[in-house]
Amino acid sequence: MFDKEIFKAVIEEIADTREVEIGCNECFEQLGRFVEMELSGLDAVRAMPLVHDHLQICGECRDEFEVLLTALRATGDA
């Protein structure tokens, strides 16, 4: 039997995911991983779109992102 409830829940989850925005705390928690992926040449934007979205709208986190990026890049070069 076709489970409409599960189907509906999945659809709602997808819709929610598209609209959801993360806050600075969540962004900060995931920022390290985001930067590491970026530096590894992985598609961080695609893997963690919410972090990317937040960086577009939040100057504070974008500053933090750039600091981390610079710091990790310097470490990697050493």
Which spans of this chain sit near Zn ion (rule: CB under 5 A)? 24, 58, 61
- What is the closest distance, in whole angstroms, from the C-beta atom of residue 22 to Zn ion in the complex? 8
CB within 8 Å of 50: residues ≥ 6 apart: 20, 21, 22, 26, 27, 30
Minimum Å distance from CB 41 to Zn ion?
25
Taking the complex as a whole, how short is the minimal distance between the CB of residue 63 and Zn ion, in angstroms? 9
Query: Based on CB atoms, which residue is closest to Zn ion, 38 or 54?
Result: 54
26 within 8 A of 12, measured Cβ to Cβ: no
For Zn ion, the closer CB: 30 or 72: 30
Coil vs helix vs strand at 68: helix
Comparing CB distances to Zn ion, the nearer of 38 and 61 is 61
